[in-house]
Amino acid sequence: MNKIISLTKVLLKNSFQKYSENNKKTSKVGKIILYGILLVYLMGIFGFLSYGLITTLQQVHQEAMFIGIFLLGLALLTIIQSIISATNVFYFSKDLDYILPLPLKPREILISKLNVILVTEYVMELIFAVAPIIVYGILTSAGAMFYIVSLLVLIIFPIIPILIATFIIMVIMSFSKGVKNKDRFKLIAPLLGITLALVLSFAFSGTSELSEADLLNALTQANSMVEMVSDSLPIIKPGINAIVNSSFIEFLKLLGITAICYIVFILIGNKLYFRGAVGNLDSGAKKGKNITGKDIKINSVGKSYVAKEFKILFKNPIFFVQCILPSILMPVVFFGIFILSINSNNSQEAINEFKNVLSGFIETPIGLAAILTITEFLTSMLYIAPTAISRDGRNAIFMKYIPVPYHKQLVYKGIPNVVFGTITSIIVLIFVYVVAKTSILFLLTAFVLNLVLLILQTILMELVDLRKPKLEWSTEYAVVKQNMNLLWPFVLNLLEIGIIFIVSIPLSFTNYSITAGILLVLHIIITYFANKYMYKNQDKLFEKVS
Amino acid sequence: MIKLENISKSYVKGKKSVDSLNLEIKDGEIFGFLGPNGAGKTTTIKMITGILNADEGKILVDDKDIKKDSISAKKTIGFVPDTPDIFLKLKGIEYLNFMGDIYEVPKEIRKQRIEELTKKFEIYDNLNEEMQGYSHGMRQKIILCGALLNNPKNWILDEPMTGLDPKASYDLKEMMRKHAKEGNCVFFSTHVLEVAEKLCDRVGIINKGKLIFVGTFEEMKTKLKDNGTLEELFLEITQDE
């Protein structure tokens, strides 16, 4: 047991490492304030959303259904996130070479690694799950037992989704032995895992036919979805019962199911993990063909530099999965589920009416602000610009000895961020078009605004990375998982959303084009000055790269 | 030509990593830069190549100030850093093409130089492979090829022999001699005293940030006890400080 605790501690320190070292007290206080603001901001958003949903449900006396939707969402989010975490913790972290020679049982290594994922999920629960439970408790005037049982449920609940995610990724990774291109396989594995998890979760959903009044229809649809998924995930029902009825017995049921799954997992995982992990994922030297005249290619400095950036992002599975994938995958998955569930559970008439209502709302200043906010939120998960310098590690000095001005290099390094952010923006706009049939002019306006916001975001994120680049790392995983700079996208995102709403709320009764015009001019001016600052101070900004 | 005028650099306030360093490496010269670990060799090299800014003093590369006219100065430098693990996800040929684009090497010259350099270092057959599959020595070789692709006038090499096999090491030394003979400048750091003795026209020894000796090996021997081994000479100079 002691060994497991020690190893878990080391692995955790390795994951969230070293921020306290060499730091002045003032910066520690600053960080605590920063975390505090972020936590309150995110908890606030989820608390507010929960408040809206619970009060709506209370009107039809269906508030208990909220807990079902909440636990279902939590389970799915945990599975998706754990698939990415499990791929990193179990397969990409490259720590097995150091751990395997130690006198540890395979079981101890497996449990320690699971603990690392569990701690990550607890952090996520703190952000996403605590506020909704508190809001529910207040609105339903729940007693102390409710909070105690809810806390216990939240502690136990993520374990089975983590086991499912880890199991899926272990099965996929066990096939890596025969794969020729290991890097591409590493890139595809988490994608495959998430697809598989979603297919499993939703395989049986979307077939119920209900035709009641609109609101009730939507509610029953949510309920039926919960019921269907709870069939495939045995923890949801006891979870609902435990929280809704503040029942300790139901919690014990949940605990029992989890304990059985855990033991079974450890027995299987012992064999599955070490078979897929040891040595199988190292990409050795591949014998290539000899070069020909065609391989000697001439390009402009800019084109060559940008191509190099793209190649490194694409060829490096960790960078691709961590820096690009979330901002592309999240909208595709969530919008896909949203569209599917609307279309499968409603009559054509209801769908059209829903679309008309939505269309009327979207083509307004607030609708525009909402679209920009969603895109901003999604692109803040794009970690290309915030790691532009850090990704090069110790080799970042390369930027300083080649005869290319620093500012130009920053522009080249920012281009992939803008390109992938634009893809996210297009996905959002396609979704808006599909559900609300908005005008092309409106979509174009939103697209241009998104683009300007994205360029500004890219410049600011590069400045953040230059301020404190993380250049000392031994695995690429550290660039993303041990980099506090990556909190800044959320902070700047919060400010940006503030600006958008400050402009759009007073103009909410006017045509959206006025809001768009003001936002465009404002952001072009801010972008111009941010770029000018970067240009003027390029030498100073690169001082930390040495 | 590389000229350092009264160069100083501190990482920590009050402690100079490089202290009032004056040095001139003339065209046609191979200059070896020696010193114990942490003496200030890499810091000096980083200042010459523009990676670090000096706190005081001026650095001229072919009469161009590395701080004020950095792009023109950098175009004349071929730099090999001490760690060759760079852009490992790129294929060898992709890296060389990238370096060729950055230094604007025309196609025909590029083709000829790539063939010449990579065949000499025996990595021509590996150019279509990702560099992450290369051994340490092969990585060192490809970085050398990239740095020398545009035939820069001033070679600045930080521990260039580390990891090279005997043949590659011999070839590199021959190339350094040829480059200097053609009127160019070669500046390199090393720990291997025998290499410095056999190859360099002059050496500089740096210790605790101060340049404590500049001259030929003969001068070093005359200055100190003349029957000592190379190691003894080196230890005597660095320990006296």
State the pLDDT at residue A237. 80
Rg (CA), chain B: 18
- Give the distance from residue A18's alpha carbon to the nearest chain B alpha carbon, in angstroms: 21
A22 in contact with chain B, both atoms CB, cutoff 8 A: no
Residues 6+ apart with CB under 8 A from A151: none
Answer yes or no: are the C-beta atoms of A367 and A512 closer than 8 Å: yes
- Tell me whether residues A295 and B126 touch, CB distance under 8 A: no
This prediction has a pTM of 0.78
Whether residue B128 and residue A290 make contact (CB cut-off 8 A), yes or no, is yes
* Contacts by A54-63, CB closer than 8 A, 24 or more apart: A54/A135, A54/A136, A54/A139, A54/A140, A55/A139, A57/A219, A58/A139, A60/A215, A60/A216, A60/A219, A62/A219, A62/A223, A63/A136, A63/A139, A63/A140
- Between CA B51 and CA B44 the distance in angstroms is 10
**Chain pair A-B, CB pairs under 8 angstroms:** 115
Using a CB–CB cut-off of 8 Å, the residues of B that contact A are 46, 49-53, 70-72, 74-75, 77, 79, 81, 83, 85-87, 89-91, 93-94, 97-98, 100-104, 106-107, 110-111, 114, 124-130, 132-134
Question: What is the ipTM, given to two decimal places?
Answer: 0.89
Nearest to A311 among B93, B94, B114 (CB): B94
Residues of B in contact with A394 (CB under 8 A): 83, 85
Q: Rounded CA gap, A359 and A430, in Å? A: 13
* Interface touch A298/B101, C-beta < 8 Å: yes
**pLDDT one digit per residue (tens) for chain A, 546 residues:** 778 888 888 887 766 654 444 445 556 777 778 778 878 877 887 787 788 778 877 777 777 778 887 888 788 888 888 888 888 888 877 777 778 878 888 888 889 999 999 998 998 888 888 999 999 999 988 889 999 999 999 999 999 999 988 998 888 888 776 666 667 777 777 777 877 776 766 654 443 443 334 444 545 555 555 555 555 567 778 888 888 888 888 899 989 999 999 999 999 888 888 776 665 555 555 566 778 878 888 999 999 999 999 999 988 888 888 889 888 887 887 777 666 656 655 566 766 766 777 777 788 898 899 899 889 888 988 999 999 999 998 889 999 999 999 999 999 999 999 999 999 999 999 988 888 888 999 999 999 999 999 999 999 999 999 998 988 887 777 787 767 788 788 888 878 888 898 898 898 888 899 999 999 999 999 999 999 999 999 999 999 898
Partners of A400 on chain B (C-beta within 8 Å) are 49-51
Nearest CB to B89: which of A296, A315, A546? Answer: A315
Q: What is the pLDDT of residue A347?
A: 62
pLDDT recorded at residue A19? 43
The reported pLDDT for the residue numbered B241 is 54
Q: Do A543 and B53 touch (CB under 8 A)?
A: yes
| Nearest chain B Cα distance for residue A483, angstroms | 21
Residue of B nearest to A299 (CA): B101
User: In B, which residues are within 8 Å of A541 by CB distance?
Assistant: none
Residues of B in contact with A475 (CB under 8 A): none
Please state, in angstroms and as integers, the Cα–Cα distance from residue B234 to each residue in A424, B178, B206, following that order.
Answer: 61, 27, 11
- Helix/strand/coil for A510: coil
When scoring A315, A401, A546 by the number of chain B Cβ atoms within 10 A, the one with the most, hence best to mutate, is A401
- In chain A, which residues have their Cβ closer than 8 Å to the Cβ of B66? none
Classify residue A393 by its DSSP letter. G
Quick check: helix, strand or coil at residue B22? strand
Query: Do the beta carbons of residue A398 and residue A546 sit within 8 Å?
Result: no
**Closest residue of chain A to B85, computed from CA coordinates:** A395
In this structure, of A325-334, A451-460, B25-34, B118-127, the range with the lowest mean pLDDT score is A325-334
State which H helix or E strand residue A203 sits in: none
Specify the pLDDT at position A212: 38
How high is the pLDDT of residue A122? 92
As a dihedral over the C-alpha atoms of residue A424, residue A425, residue A427, residue A431, rounded to 10 degrees, the angle is 140
DSSP string, B92-148: HHHHHHHHHHHTT--HHHHHHHHHHHHHHTT-GGGTTSBGGGS-HHHHHHHHHHHHH
pLDDT by residue (tens digit) across B143-167? 999 999 999 999 999 989 888 888 8
How would you classify the pairing of strands B15-25 and B2-12?
A: antiparallel
Contact criterion met (CB < 8 Å) for B71 and A405: yes
Kindly report the nearest CA distance between residue A446 and chain B, in angstroms.
37
